[in-house]
């Protein structure tokens, strides 16, 4: 629940800083939400809270990708934005086919969305590594996304202790995503939290 709220809070700074973010990562997140939340078409009305938030994620993600590829397209530098997201899509699809909980379209798409989300931030981290710096608001946005995933860790522990339930796909994907963020979080702590400018060795 707390992770979901935090994820929704990242939407506003994302829209404000859309022109200086990386479109490829946002396009991947749009695919993540679209494949994960397809169930709104047959579970609509079961939970108003879940339905509204799913629609919010889908709508905000779609609008963000639209303005990044249209209104702010002149700010996009193809010479810097060279990450090949096809590899991420292909890898997530293969893992979803090999290891779904059930071989049904909805379960395969859900597994695909989980694996893809774990690496969706890679294009943006790759851009940071290439440029060596970023606007503070974008850095805070990345930190919020990483914290949102980290907040799932206590949820996994509680579900295991209380319900004896272990979602291995989410756990492994979450560990992968946390590891990808590890260097970023260290620099975020040593730079931004202490009032310094965010910069990476290029």
pLDDT at 107: 93
pLDDT at 4: 47
* Token representation of residue 79: 């010479």
pLDDT at 196: 66
pLDDT at 110: 94
pLDDT at 88: 96
User: Residue 53 class from Cβ within 10 Å (0-12 exposed, 13-18 middle, 19+ buried)?
Assistant: middle
DSSP H helices in 10-132: 11-16, 23-36, 40-43, 48-69, 85-98, 105-119, 122-131
User: Residue 192 class from Cβ within 10 Å (0-12 exposed, 13-18 middle, 19+ buried)?
Assistant: middle
Q: The dihedral of CA 105, 111, 113, 115: what is its sign?
A: negative
Torsion, Cα of 155, 157, 161, 162 (10° steps): 0
Average pLDDT over residues 84-106: 95
Quickly state the pLDDT bin for 198 (edges 50, 70, 90): low
* Token representation of residue 90: 């292909």
- State how far the Cα of 124 lies from the Cα of 28, in Å rounded to an integer: 11
Judge contact between 111 and 169, C-beta under 8 A: yes
Give yes or no for residue 194 having a pLDDT over 80.
no
pLDDT at 102: 93
pLDDT tens digit sequence for 60-77: 888 888 887 787 665 555
> pTM (2 decimals)?
0.79
DSSP H helices in 120-197: 122-131, 136-150, 152-163, 168-187
Give yes or no for residue 84 having a pLDDT over 70.
yes
pLDDT tens digit sequence for 121-172: 888 888 777 766 666 667 777 788 788 777 887 888 888 888 888 889 988 9
The pair phi, psi for residue 193, each rounded to 5°, is -60, -30
Judge contact between 60 and 15, C-beta under 8 A: yes
* Token representation of residue 147: 């914290």
Give yes or no for residue 184 having a pLDDT over 70.
yes
Give yes or no for residue 2 having a pLDDT over 70.
no
pLDDT tens digit sequence for 18-55: 444 467 888 999 999 999 988 787 766 567 777 888 88
| Domain regions of the chain by residue span | 13-193
């Amino acid at each position: 629940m707390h992770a979901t709220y935090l994820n929704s809070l990242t939407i506003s700074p994302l829209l404000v800083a859309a022109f200086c973010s990386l479109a490829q990562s946002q396009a991947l997140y749009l695919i993540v939400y679209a494949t994960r939340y397809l169930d709104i078409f047959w579970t609509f009305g079961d939970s108003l809270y879940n339905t509204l938030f799913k629609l919010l994620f889908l709508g905000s993600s779609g609008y963000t990708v639209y303005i990044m590829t249209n209104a702010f397209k002149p700010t996009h530098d193809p010479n810097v934005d060279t990450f090949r997201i096809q590899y991420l899509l292909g890898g997530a699809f293969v893992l979803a086919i090999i290891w779904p909980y059930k071989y049904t379209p909805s379960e395969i798409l859900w597994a695909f969305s989980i694996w893809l989300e774990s690496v969706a931030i890679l294009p943006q981290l790759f851009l940071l590594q290439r440029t060596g710096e970023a606007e503070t608001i974008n850095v805070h946005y990345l930190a919020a996304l990483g914290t949102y995933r980290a907040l799932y860790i206590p949820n996994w522990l509680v579900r295991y202790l209380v319900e004896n339930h272990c979602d291995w796909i989410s756990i492994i994907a979450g560990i992968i995503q946390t590891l990808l963020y590890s260097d970023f979080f260290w620099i975020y702590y040593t730079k931004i939290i202490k009032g310094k400018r965010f910069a990476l060795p290029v």
